[in-house]
Amino acid sequence: MTVTIRDVARDAKVSVATVSRVLNASGPVHPTTSARVREAAERLRYVPHGGARSLVTSETYTLGVVLPDIYGEFFSEVIRGLDAAARGHGYHLLLSSAHASPAEMQAALRSMRGRVDGVVVMLPDLDARELLAHLPDGAPVVLLNRAVGQFPALTIDNHGGARAMVRHLLALGHRRIGTIVGAESNADAGERLRGYRAALVEAAMPRRAEWEVRGDFTEAGGHAAVGALLAAAEQPTAIFAANDAMAIGALSALREAGVRVPHEMAVAGFDDIPMARYVDPPLSSVHVPIARLGIRAVERLMAMLHPEQHPGQQSAPGVASPAVSWHEKCATTLVIRRSCGGRASGDAVPPAP
């Protein structure tokens, strides 16, 4: 038998309106009465009807999430953080993948209208005008991995992390360092390439076009890129891949080519996905707090949806004004493992200043 709000009211000896105010936090109720209502609801295992609650509160208790893909450990870790934080606030996720397609991004956002209270968007190639045109009406949005205009945003120190890892390879004695670059239009890839180049310029080291090979952030892309690096007139002695998936593909290709890692070729990646520590040899990487990105994005949405519960963090729904815009950049650290012949497995090295 389904337990209703009337059953909770009868058990707690209060009105239905009082139960509604307690469970929806929609009005003042004496603490003793509130505790009695919650105890009754828990005892009876009452589950609020989502549709009915939405009609009363104009809230769906659902957050929309649009990602460029849902394949791979990076995205699964982001989703894990989003889901844990959302459930902690009594919300669920409506998830969609845009597959790096503007048309699919627009369709995903349109499909969320009237179905979500807020949106998290991770689209590295995001066009602010497109986003404005297709956002669910009145829903606040938080961007991941890209700061655009005055939208609240949570980004990664891509430039600093890449620069620090290349400086570490230089400190190990490498003078010919190649890189496997991410997708051409990807903002993260561009910043990581910029950090790679900055470290070489600072050390007065050579930078050659044949040592910068384009990848696509996949294992297959990293595997294919190794062939071009090994075919260079002068082979690099170290490879910095713009993400761990490409680095893992590179390790496989080097093994197939009979190139020993790290003795003949050092390899490092970016992201520090959970798998990085379990490949052979364990992969050195720029550590990103991946799940934490999802958690912080939800926390920010909660501050926008319920400013009364987050004093000092208020922000207007939708596009934040310059006075209340929010941009948080996540710091990175180096995790040095055997793939680059550095220190002992798992040693953390702070990024260079």
Would you kindly state where each structural domain of the chain is located, as residue ranges? 5-57, 62-156+290-330, 158-288+332-349
Q: Using DSSP bridges, classify how beta strands 238-241 and 153-156 pair: parallel, antiparallel or unpaired.
A: unpaired
Determine the topology of domain 158-288+332-349 in CATH.
Answer: Rossmann fold (3.40.50)
pTM: 0.76
Q: From CA 352, how far away is CA 168, in angstroms rounded?
A: 9
Tokens of 52: 């009915």
Q: How far apart are CA 214 and CA 334, in angstroms?
A: 23
pLDDT at 351: 45
Q: What is the CATH number of domain 5-57?
A: 1.10.260.40
pLDDT value for 97: 86
Strand partners, 268: 240, 284
Query: 95 - beta bridge partners?
Result: 65
C-alpha angle 320-135-122 in degrees, rounded to nearest 5:
80
Q: Which residue has the higher pLDDT, 73 or 268?
A: 268
The 10s digit of each residue's pLDDT in 177-189 is: 999 999 887 889 9
CA distance 130 to 112: 15
CATH topology classification for 62-156+290-330? Rossmann fold (3.40.50)
CA-closest candidate to residue 179, choices 114, 247, 123: 247
**How confident is the model over 57-104, as pLDDT tens digits?**
467 889 999 998 888 889 999 999 999 999 998 899 999 887 767 778
Q: What is the pLDDT of residue 316?
A: 38
Is-same-fold flag (5-57; 62-156+290-330)?
no
> Mean of the pLDDT values across residues 171-199?
93
Give start and end residues of each alpha helix (H) in the chain: 5-12, 16-24, 31-44, 50-57, 73-88, 102-111, 128-134, 158-171, 187-202, 219-230, 244-256, 290-305
